Chains A and B, each alone.
Chain A
C-alpha cells in the first residue's frame, strides 16, 4: 500500500511562496509519477502538475509561470512551490500518485493540506 504524508505551513502571506512536501512511504517512489492537485473552497479539483523521479516536470499551462515541482529521491519526497500567491490560491492541496498510459488517473492521495493566503 502506498502512503503519502503531506507537510508544510497552513498560512502564507500574499506575494510570498507556498511550499509543501509530500513524503511517500515504501519502495514505490520510483514507480509512479506524482501530481499536485488543489481544491479551492467550495470548488472542484485542479491539476497543478506532475513529476517522475528521473524526468522533467509538467505543469498546468494556466499556472506554469508560478509552479515548480521537484523530487528528492534520497527522502522519497515530492515538493510543490507556488510563487507570488494571492487569496485566490487559498485551497486544500493534495499530492497523489499518477498512473495510466497518459498519466491520467490519480490513485493514492495524501491527506491534504489547507493553505490559507492571508496577512
Chain B
C-alpha cells in the first residue's frame, strides 16, 4: 500500500491561512470518508487534529478544518500561529483492514 501524497512543505505568515492536500486513490481516500489528520512537533508523538474528514476532537482549535473531494482530502489552518509549525500527516482506511498514512508535510510559519 503506497503512502498518501502530501506536499513536502507549506509555509505561511502569522494570521494567514494555509491548506495541505492529501491525495490517495479510489481504494482509500476516495472510497471512505474517514480521513484523519495529525500534528507532530519534533520529538513528540502525533496529535489527532481531525477525524472522519471534518470532525475535531475536544480541545482542538476551530482554526483547523478539513474537507474532501474525490481522492484528495485537505487540511486548512486559519489564523496561522507560531505554534502551528510542525509536521502534519493525513491517514485513511485503505480497505481489507489496512490503514495508510500520508508522506507528511512540514509547515513553516514565516
Contact = CB atoms under 8 A, between A and B. Distances in A.
Contacts, number: 64
A105 B48 contact: yes
A7 to B, nearest CB: 15
A46 B91 CA distance: 10
A78 to B, nearest CB: 15
Interface in B55-103: 57, 89, 91-93, 96-103
Nearest to B6: A44
Contact of B51 (A60, A100, A109): A100
A26 to B, nearest CB: 16
25 contacts: A44-B89, A44-B103, A45-B101, A46-B101, A47-B98, A58-B97, A60-B99, A61-B1, A61-B96, A94-B46, A99-B51, A100-B36, A100-B51, A100-B52, A102-B32, A104-B91, A104-B99, A105-B36, A105-B52, A106-B38, A106-B91, A107-B48, A107-B57, A109-B47, A111-B45
